[in-house]
């Protein structure tokens, strides 16, 4: 079906006297998806630019290497290739781990296709599913953030009032009960205070309107770094890799401070609790084209070219909490609230931005994709 449409379209193009299309190699090279052509002996016939980056080799190096130098002989990719050769069909495999001496990548979709005109040759295309999945995830964060918002409003309203009544009553009783029972009234008072503190922490999730303007993200990062280094991260070396030409973020400074502070605090806790030998936290800013996000319920797409990364060399995010990482009350720490990342997700979502997480032992990265402050604010 697809082929018919394409052929019909091509014949239309042909009739309109358009210039000759570029050759196949040029087309494939421009494709942002890694594509590799193997000959019947599994030697590289061709790699496009994206494949050079993906596999960590140049075309010149690849011409001298069999693919077994890049992927271990027992890699499931070879089973796919053999299947394609034997049955002359296209095979796609999702969520594969591609690893070799030069790389290790998870969640890759690999597509292997035979070339009818070249018996034994196989075309491989690799697609990183994590980008697509992170968009998916962000939408989940949005709904998580929304449920938190509603919950915060209800909690604040329904819990705080009776709570102050309970606390007041306990205080009144304190003066009239025996000394032994005073212990109990004090317990009631202290526990009421603890609930009140929790409710107040939840209130930051409330949907209050906030001002947005041009925020210099480097000032935000430096502010948080100073806070961290005079307090909870005093013993941890920081590294910065800032792109000084970065334009301003469209956002709210205080909220962005809260976001970065939470990420840096988690990073510090990860390296401290993980007893990392030479701990370090790295803050990175960069400009990256091509990240766009559809706004929910609209056809408008928002450009998110500013990337802010907080990286640590701690033990990584525990597997069991990964699927719910951004939900409220999800924590792996005995004294944790599990509200930090829920708040981060809410604020970034309010900013129209996106969060990506990449974590393995020794390297955890939270990447924020944020919009630019437009020159023409309309």
Ligand X SMILES: Nc1ncnc2c1ncn2[C@@H]1O[C@H](COP(=O)(O)OP(=O)(O)O)[C@@H](O)[C@H]1O
- Contact residues toward ligand X (CB under 6 A) are 262, 266-267, 270, 312, 314, 316-318, 321, 325, 330-333, 336-342, 364
Report strand pairing: 238-241 vs 281-287.
Answer: parallel
Tell me the closest approach of the beta carbon of residue 315 to ligand X, in angstroms: 7
Q: Which is nearer to Mg ion, 82 or 273 (CB)?
A: 273
Assign 3-class secondary structure to 287-312. ECCCCEEECCCCCCEEECCEEEEEEE
Q: Do 152 and 205 meet the contact criterion of CB atoms below 8 Å apart?
A: yes
Looking up tokens 């030998």 gives 277
Rounded least distance, CB 353 to ligand X, Å = 17
CA atoms within 13 A on the CB side of 205: 29
Question: Binding of Mg ion at residue 340 (CB under 5 A)?
Answer: yes
Judge whether 284 and 248 are in contact, CB under 8 Å: no
325 binds, among Mg ion, ligand X, none (CB under 5 to 8 A by kind): ligand X
Q: Among ligand X, Mg ion, none, what does residue 42 contact (CB within 5–8 Å per kind)?
A: none
Residue 364, interface with Mg ion (CB under 5 A)?
Answer: no
Read out DSSP for 33-63?
S-EEEE-TTSBEEEE-HHHHHHHT--HHHHH
Find the shortest distance in angstroms from Cβ 260 to ligand X.
13
Sole residue written with tokens 């800032």: 242
SS3 244: coil
User: Which residue minimizes CB distance to ligand X?
Assistant: 340
Distances (CA, A) of 300 to 140, 206, 295, 303: 20, 26, 6, 10
CB of 42 or CB of 331, closer to Mg ion = 331
Strands, E, within 73-221: which ranges? Answer: 91-100, 103-114, 122-128, 213-215
Q: Nearer to ligand X by C-beta: 307 or 343? A: 343
Instruction: State in angstroms the smallest separation of the CB of 258 from ligand X.
Output: 12
Minimum distance of Mg ion from residue 361's CB (angstroms): 19
Instruction: Give which of ligand X, Mg ion, none residue 138 binds (C-beta under 5 to 8 Å, depending on kind).
Output: none
At its nearest, how many Å lie between Mg ion and the CB of residue 333?
A: 8
Q: Which does 337 bind (CB under 5 to 8 A by kind): Mg ion, ligand X, none?
A: ligand X
Of 260 and 330, CB closest to ligand X: 330
User: If contact means CB under 5 to 8 A according to the sort of partner, which of Mg ion, ligand X, none does residue 312 touch?
Assistant: ligand X
Question: Is 351 strand, coil or helix?
Answer: coil
**Binds Mg ion (CB under 5 A): choice among 134, 266, 313, 359:** 266
Binding partner selected for residue 317 from Mg ion, ligand X, none, CB under the kind-specific 5 to 8 Å limit: ligand X
3-state secondary structure of 281: strand
Residue nearest to Mg ion (CB): 340
Rg (CA), the chain: 27
**Closer CB to Mg ion, residue 121 or residue 345?**
345
List interacting residues with Mg ion (CB under 5 A): 266, 340
């Amino acid at each position: 079906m697809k082929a018919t449409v394409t052929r019909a379209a091509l014949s239309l193009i042909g009739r309109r006297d358009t210039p000759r299309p570029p050759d196949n190699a040029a087309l494939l090279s421009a494709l942002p998806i890694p594509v590799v052509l193997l000959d019947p002996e599994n030697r590289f016939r061709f790699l496009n630019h994206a494949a050079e980056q993906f596999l960590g080799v140049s075309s010149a190096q690849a011409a001298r290497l069999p693919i077994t130098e890049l992927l271990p002989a027992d890699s499931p990719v070879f089973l796919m290739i053999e299947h394609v050769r034997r049955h002359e069909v296209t095979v796609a495999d999702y969520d594969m781990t591609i690893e070799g001496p030069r790389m290790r990548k998870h969640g890759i979709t690999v597509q292997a296709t035979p070339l009818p005109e070249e018996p034994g040759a196989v075309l491989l295309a690799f697609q990183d599913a994590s980008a697509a999945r992170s968009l998916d995830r962000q939408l989940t964060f949005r709904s998580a953030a929304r449920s938190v918002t509603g919950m915060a409003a209800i909690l604040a309203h329904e819990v705080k009032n009776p709570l102050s009544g309970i606390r007041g009553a306990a205080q009144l009783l304190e003066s009239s009960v025996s000394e032994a029972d005073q212990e109990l009234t004090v317990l009631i008072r202290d526990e009421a205070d603890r609930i009140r503190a929790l409710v107040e922490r939840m209130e930051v999730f409330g949907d209050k309107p906030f001002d947005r303007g041009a925020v210099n993200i480097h000032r935000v990062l430096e502010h948080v770094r100073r806070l961290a280094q005079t307090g909870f991260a005093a013993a941890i070396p920081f590294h910065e890799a800032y792109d000084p030409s970065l334009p301003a973020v469209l956002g709210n400074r205080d909220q962005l401070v809260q976001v970065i502070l939470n990420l840096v605090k988690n990073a510090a806790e990860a390296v401290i609790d993980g007893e990392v030998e030479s701990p370090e936290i790295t803050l990175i800013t960069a400009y990256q084209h091509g990240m766009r996000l559809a706004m929910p319920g609209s056809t408008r797409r928002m450009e998110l070219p500013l990337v802010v990364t907080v990286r640590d060399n701690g033990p990584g995010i525990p597997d069991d909490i990964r699927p719910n990482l951004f939900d409220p009350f999800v924590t792996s720490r005995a004294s944790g609230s599990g509200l930090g990342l829920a708040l981060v997700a809410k604020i970034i979502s309010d900013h129209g931005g996106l969060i990506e997480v990449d974590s393995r032992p020794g390297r955890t990265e939270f990447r924020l994709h944020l919009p630019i402050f437009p020159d023409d604010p309309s």
